Amino acid sequence: MDGGEGDGGAFGAADLPDDDASSGERVHGLVAQGRFTEAHALVGDAFVERNGSAGYLLRAWILAQEKRGAEAREAVDWALAIAGPLEAADVFVLAGVVLLSLDEAHAALTVALRASGIDPGGWEPSVLLSDVYRRLGRVPDAVVAARRAVAVAPHEAEAQVALARSLSSGRSLFGRVPQRHRPEHQAAVERALMLGADPGQLVGARGGAMAGGFVLALFWGIQLYRMERGGPWQFVAAGVALLATFVLIAVVLTVGSRRSGTSARARLRGIRATTRTEMAGDDWLWRISAAHVGAALPVPPLVTTGLVADRAWRDGPWPLWAVAAMTGTGVAGELLLLGGVRWWFGPEFSRRAFVYSWQGRFQLVVSFALLAATTALAARGDVPRATWADLASAHLTWAILAWIAALLFAHHAQTQRDRAL
């Protein structure tokens, strides 16, 4: 059912009158042959008016296959706008399939959750949820949803395919499914093939965004190392490289917005709303997010005053104005991080993470203390290099300890959450 791997026959006669259902089947055949003009002729304004949301979604699906993302998204929005409170779950399942094909996974998650709420025992909403979670990199959630679909409809090929794909998405770097999942994965593959599934649909792609994020973090780490170790020109060159990556990210987001018809700001707000909704009913997900935020807090001091302390130890102290500028950058980074957390997760999350939690307060105190200590040493003027070495070591040690603690805490929370699912 994943938009990137075929619609799995999801668009057929659901919620359409008999004559229009046969038209829907003809549309599938025409689109498969690339005859989009004839498909649009069948799904004209009269067809859409008769079938309401289902008609708009069939039109959206045709537009998505034509790679006309902006128009397809507009048709989906119309379908969801006119969907009544008694609308069948099938409508939201179809909307989710189209949104996945448009690479709008978070928007698809919203409608998938709505479909599951309308039909909690349905297998199609569970398959859609599994595909959405897998696209978002949340493999444990994808496996749980797929298992629920298989339990309800063991003889549906799409349910078995969803289970096989979700289990294969957790495979290692060497392409092997984890040992504990191999028997279940093999059984799902065999059942799916017996039920007529396409073998090409049985392997789920691993998250490219995660790999891209790792490469980007490695690149930034290399540039920071050049800034820390190199001379003035190395410092400038690394800074230019870092700035160029931010420009490239902005260009990619702009191009993606034009292709999908959804602005980057609107997409961010949609993702934020979905994140808050999920966290409101999942305390373990809240704990995992808090651990991720905690891992980010040591970064501003490390890359600003930590750099100052290390260079002062190796090459001699910096001028006070330069240290003050770097300290101000570190403080601005911490404040920007806190403001971003509040904007993204909401004020309640910020209060729980930084006001009511002693761990959050402790992390903030240590981070600002490191920033202040660097400025205080620079203001003294005559400081032994050993003292700067100790301060640089304190920055690095604090960052490593915070990252280890965040990793252990997040792993514990994820383990507990997996058991509760």
| 76/152 same-domain check | yes
Question: In angstroms, how far is CA 404 from the centroid of its own chain?
Answer: 23
- Residues 79 and 93 sit within 8 Å (Cβ to Cβ): no
Summarize pLDDT for 22-32 with one digit per residue, the tens.
Answer: 666 788 788 88
Proportion of the chain in helix, strand, coil states, percent, rounded to 5: 80, 0, 20
* CB contact at 8 A, 284 and 420: yes
Encode pLDDT of 32-87 as tens digits.
888 888 888 888 888 888 888 888 888 888 888 888 888 888 888 888 888 877 78
Pick the last residue of a domain from 174, 201, 228.
Answer: 201
Whether 48 and 190 map to the same domain: the answer is: yes
Residues in the chain: 421
User: pTM, whole model, 2 decimals?
Assistant: 0.69
Distance CA 156, CA 150 (A): 8
One domain, residues 290 and 233: no
The answer to whether residues 110 and 176 belong to one domain is yes
293 and 358 share one domain: yes
Q: Are residues 81 and 22 in the same domain?
A: yes
Domain finish residue from 151, 172, 201: 201
Cα–Cα distance measured from residue 146 to residue 337, given in angstroms and rounded to the nearest whole number: 36
Closest CA relative to residue 6, chosen from 293, 268, 257, 204: 204
The pLDDT assigned to 372 comes to 94
Direct distance between the N- and C-terminal alpha carbons of the chain, in angstroms, rounded to an integer? 22
How does 283-308 read in b/e, with b if 16+ C-beta sit within 10 Å? ebbbbbbbbebbbbbbbbbbbbbbbb
Tokens 């979905």 -> residue: 274
State residue 400's pLDDT score. 93
pLDDT value, residue 371 = 94
Residues 105 and 228 in one domain: no
Residues 262 and 172 in one domain: no
SS3 call for 154: coil
For residues 170 and 177, is the Cβ–Cβ distance under 8 A?
yes
Following DSSP, what letter does each residue of 309-323 receive, concatenated? HHHHHHH-PPPHHHH
Q: State which residues form the domain around 341.
A: 281-421
Q: Which residues of the chain have pLDDT under 70?
A: 1-24, 170-175, 203-239, 242, 256-262, 421
Residues 149 and 51 both lie in one domain: yes
Specify whether 21 is located in the same domain as 81: yes
**266 and 223 assigned to the same domain:** yes
Question: How far is it, in rounded angstroms, from Cα 80 to Cα 398?
Answer: 49
* C-alpha pair distances (Å), 43 with each of 100, 101, 218: 21, 19, 49
Asked which of 275, 293, 320 is the last residue of a domain, the reply is 275
Are 130 and 8 members of one domain?
Answer: yes
Domains in the chain, number: 3
DSSP for residue 2: -
Tokens read off for 50: 């008769």
Q: Quickly count: other Cβ atoms within 10 Å of residue 222's Cβ.
A: 12
Q: Which residue has the tokens 């969803």?
A: 162
Q: Exposed e or buried b for every residue in 170-196, given b needs 16+ CB within 10 A?
A: bbeeeeebeeebeebbeebbebbbeee
Tokens, residue 33: 């042959």
Amino acid letter, 386:
A
Q: What is the CATH number of the domain that holds 14?
A: 1.25.40.10
The pLDDT, as a whole number, for residue 130 is: 92
Q: What is the pLDDT of residue 84?
A: 78
